[in-house]
Amino acid sequence: MAFGAHPLDAYRRWPAYMACHLTNRKGGSGSGSPVIVEHDFDCPEGVLPMVSRLRTGSAVGFKYFDFGTDAVAGSQVSIEVSPAGRGRVDVVLDDPRNGAVVATIEVDGPIGTWASFTAPMRPVGGVHAVYLVARPEGAELGDVAYLGFVPGE
């Protein structure tokens, strides 16, 4: 359960470097899988560890987020990305290859410029592992610095 005995509150902004699952499109680690690197970022420290090398089908996983007892309609998910190109990110629960896709975030921003991309999310309740599965149109999607969820009303 995350860094302790309890799952993390999903409805916050979380740094991407806390990911505990980094795999390539075949589900393996190593060659072709995402990596955690430090890059310049607009923050007090000046640099921030982030997830890089998001290639087709690569998965970045976080365990575990608590979405609350009741599934709430109208929730959103956002990621902060420095795009290397256009594409999308599928937000998948519990299994990066066969889990339920609860959102698809379109990434279409200025290349190399940090931007937040947001998408509506299907209602989710309970505790789940969350995976970001990259679907770039080119070789790579870019770097991801943050992941966040906003509850519906």
Contact 54, 144 (CB under 8 A): yes
Residue 91 DSSP label:
E
Our CA angle for 109, 110, 113, nearest 5°, is: 105
Q: Are strands 59-66 and 8-9 parallel, antiparallel or unpaired?
A: parallel
- Quickly count: other Cβ atoms within 10 Å of residue 60's Cβ: 26
Q: Which two tokens stand for residue 15?
A: 């740094």
What integer is the mean pLDDT of 72-78?
94
Max Cα distance, the chain (Å):
42
Q: What is the pTM of this model?
A: 0.92
Lowest mean pLDDT among 18-27, 42-51, 55-64: 42-51
Spans of all domains in the chain: 8-150
Q: Which two tokens stand for residue 123?
A: 């209602």
Kindly report the CATH number that applies to the domain delimited by 8-150.
Answer: 2.60.120.260
Q: Distance (Å, rounded) from C-alpha 84 to C-alpha 15? A: 19
User: Could you tell me the pLDDT band of residue 44, with boundaries at 50, 70 and 90?
Assistant: low
Q: Which two tokens stand for residue 151?
A: 């509850």
Q: Which one, of 83, 96, 98, lies nearest residue 141 by Cα?
A: 83
Q: Which one, of 78, 149, 80, lies nearest residue 114 by Cα?
A: 80
Q: Which two tokens stand for residue 13?
A: 């902004």
Position 43 scores a pLDDT of 62
What is the per-residue pLDDT across 78-133, written as a single tens digit (0 to 9) for each? 999 999 999 999 999 999 999 999 999 999 988 988 899 999 999 999 999 999 99
